[in-house]
Amino acid sequence: MYVLSPSIYAADYMNLKEQMATLERMNVKRLHVDIMDGNFVPNLSFGPDFVKSLREHTNMELDVHLMIGEPIRFIGAFAEAGADILTVHYESCESVQEVLDEIHSCGKKAGIVLKPETGLECLVSDLWERIQVLQFMTVQPGMKGQKFIADTLEKIRAAHSYIKQLERNIDIEVDGDITLTHLTEVLGAGANIVVVGKALFQGILEDNIRNYQLAG
């Protein structure tokens, strides 16, 4: 059984309290929170105060995805705000090892995110030893309305195979236009955490969640 991680960025903010209650009623255990700085990616989103507010109103695990430049500057703030997992882009870090170590020093799970064009060969052995999550973007980060990039499936398969060889408990997370059709594809490739945004929050949220839960 995979973990469904709704992306709060796609929610209806005027009805956020009701939607959060629906997620919890439907037994959703994890919430994906996209943090964008308008620099590393072209959009802006939330900050630590928003994460703190979420933490005060839910027991769901908060998976905070930092799409920001030099994320080490904000690890402490987001950890203190209540993030459970902090994932950072390989492409945004001057020293990925240093950032991962900072996340762990705050008592949080750490993950690396790869853009569609970034290959697995960038992950040296020290990085595999430091991560609990490997997240693949299946669209370009920070821009809405994109289509699933099928070429990422081979990278997911390769990562899944390598993790089995390592005999380490590393989750494979996918994020970007994961429709029900693409859900089957990414799960078949080896993903076990699936971020879904507009496909959940557009229409009837409860029905959409149920469809994704049944499809997994």
**Predicted TM-score (pTM) of this structure:** 0.95
pLDDT of 39 reads: 84
pLDDT of 52 reads: 97
Domain with 193 in it? 3-215
pLDDT of 122 reads: 94
Is beta strand 171-175 parallel, antiparallel or unpaired with respect to 30-36? unpaired
pLDDT digits (tens, 9 = 90+) for 115-145: 999 999 999 989 999 999 999 999 998 777 7
Catalytic positions are: 34, 175
Burial class (CB in 10 A: 0-12, 13-18, 19+), 145: exposed
pLDDT of 40 reads: 85
Judged by phi (left if over 0) then psi (alpha if -120 to 50, else beta), residue 70 lies in left
CATH number at residue 68: 3.20.20.70
The one-character DSSP state at 144 is S
Instruction: Name the stretches of the chain with pLDDT < 70.
Output: none
pLDDT of 45 reads: 87
Q: Is 162 helix (H, G, I), strand (E, B) or coil?
A: helix
Domain count, the chain: 1
Dihedrals phi, psi of 28, to nearest 5 degrees: -75, 130
pLDDT digits (tens, 9 = 90+) for 178-207: 999 999 999 999 999 999 999 999 999 999
117 residue type, one letter = E
What is the residue whose two structure tokens read 């005027």? Answer: 14
